[in-house]
A and B are shown apart, each in its own frame.
Chain A
Amino acid sequence: MEYRIALAQVAPRLGDLDANLEIASRAVRRAADEGAALAVLPELALTGYLLQDLVPEVAIRADDDRLASLSRETPGMLVAIGFVEETDDHRYCNTVAMLRDGELIGLHRKVYLPTYGLFDEGRFTRPGERIRTHDAGAPVGRIGLSVCEDFWHPSLPMIQALDGADLLVNVAAGPSRAPGSDAGLVAIASWHKMQDTYALLGSVPLAFCNRAGDEEGLTFWGGSRVVAADGSTVVEAPLWEEAFVVGTLDTDDVRMQRYGLPLLADERLELTRREIDRIIGERAGLAVGEAPE
């Protein structure tokens, strides 16, 4: 069964929730006009990226009606969008929500917060503690959500693929490093390589939505993509500028891909777990065979 994914490569305004809700709302309406089953907006699309101490000022609860209402006017269409979430116990998380018909149907809190180089996320936000998939029903099926840096850790997309993901959705606010140089393009190419690889090894299609625009001298590089389960590019947005692209996936392609290349079915999870348990113990300085506390 074919379905369409719309990627809204928008440029959010830093710290301006109302303006960004309007930007998001326009993108969602456009996706619906394009007949999309799923509209994806970038990481922190409701807040902008370089927030620092603005975090508590722009944070909203996951059940905030302003979030849910983004999907209320577009019956049946899924919306994935990033925002700063304040949890019940007042943790501030970099979260992506999955919405439909005014309901929150899935949520992922960024697990890996880059705090090195030009990044300082761990200072201002707290990491998520779950890696899950969410059933969105036909046509898309189970969705594995993740946020930007999460994808630099292959365990995360692989866990989601093994958990039955029919589609991986990564939302990003990727600032270019060394823009205007070969090194900058190499960094972007690295992102594309890992997307192709996860799709191929997980036998799962993938939607990646990265933002555009700039904040405080950082320039976000866009380049949003839909990748098919064989690692081929379905659609790709331009670099550096705001864009809106739509790609079509066919669920039959995943069936055939998984029959022809049954990597997921062949995966040896118990062996993997045994070896990971051993490594955890050894890293903690425990003797081989000794159980952790």
Chain B
Amino acid sequence: MSASLERAPLPAIESAQAVAVIVGFIRSQLEQAGFSRLVLGLSGGVDSAAVAYLCAAAIGAENVLAIRMPYRTSSEASETDALRVVTALGCRTERVEITPMVDPMLALISEPDAPVPSDELNVRRGNVMARQRMIVLYDRSAAFDALVAGTGNKTEALLGYGTLHGDMAAGLAPIGDLYKTQLRAVATHLGVPSEILDKPPSADLWPGQTDEGELGRSYDLLDRTLFALVDRRWTVDRCVSAGLERDLVEWVASRVARMEFKRQQPPVAKLSLRTPGIDHLYPRRRPGSRRER
């Protein structure tokens, strides 16, 4: 880090406090919804590993089902790292390979004449995989009588670096308000294995993909910029005068705006006197909303 960036700091976190808040949140959400178990997709990356640790701390590893869902191009290291988490926690696990479900769909959208898949095609292929994993998770959640714990973080949500109705789909979002760099600190505090902490973050949707390669910026710089723009409400000029590159700040600001649609429910054409989401406003959890078995 260059000294000039001290004026645009990373968002800080007190990991022990954050863990206490999130564990309380998970317990409370489950209790209020009438569930006692959680399912999550375990990729071998740091986000889902941290969520697995948080879920196990909240409700006991025996109530957590971690599903590994490789595609045929997924890296072997991802599987190895996912199993490190399962072994460390002693949680339940299943392996559901998505290749036979995904390939027929990919055949429909492939461009056989293209020697190398285009970026756009890569994104479409990635979306199909992410949505197939969502289908598996929600099916397993019904079989295991569980809610789906989301593994998305705040950096991804703000940048829209996720698949709508894919990896963004969840019943609760334990790490949704933690920036990636904060999440890494919390994961370290939780004891997530160093092999997982130390490797470059990747969605592992195609060989060689990394988050930072695809986003074109390091999480360090992205989080400093997002923290300044979003949490501190700084203008672009103020971010620049604090030492952040103008190109970076403008790219982040425009991406946050462009991805607003991923963070909200779709707009409803208002016709009636009371419309859900507009003037029919209730907390998710209230008397009668708890599932009774």
A interface list, Cβ under 8 A from B: 14-16, 50-54, 176, 179-185, 213-217, 219, 240
Contact = CB atoms under 8 A, between A and B. Distances in A.
B260 to A, nearest CB: 18
B18 A14 contact: no
Interface in B237-293: 280-287
Interface stretch (B8-16, B99-107, B202-210): B8-16
Given A214-B24, A214-B25, A214-B28, A180 B14 contact: yes
A52 B282 contact: yes
Given A52-B281, A54-B282, A219 B25 contact: yes
Interface of B: 11-15, 17-22, 24-25, 28, 32, 280-287
Contacts of A52: 281-283
A188 to B, nearest CB: 11
Nearest to B15: A180
Given A53-B282, A216-B283, A181 B12 contact: yes
A184 to B, nearest CB: 7
A216 B284 contact: yes
A219 B19 CA distance: 13
Contact of B13 (A180, A215, A217): A180
The A contact surface, by secondary structure, is: loop
Contact of B283 (A51, A183, A185): A51
Contacts of B281: 52-53
A52 B24 CA distance: 23
B284 A180 contact: no
Interface centre among A14, A180, A216 (most CB of B within 10 A): A180
Contacts of A16: 287
Given A213-B28, A214-B25, A219-B25, A179 B282 contact: no
Given A219-B24, A240-B21, A240-B24, 4 more contacts: A51-B283, A180-B20, A181-B11, A214-B25
13 contacts: A14-B286, A15-B283, A50-B283, A52-B282, A52-B283, A180-B14, A180-B15, A180-B22, A181-B12, A181-B18, A182-B12, A182-B14, A214-B28
Nearest to A215: B283
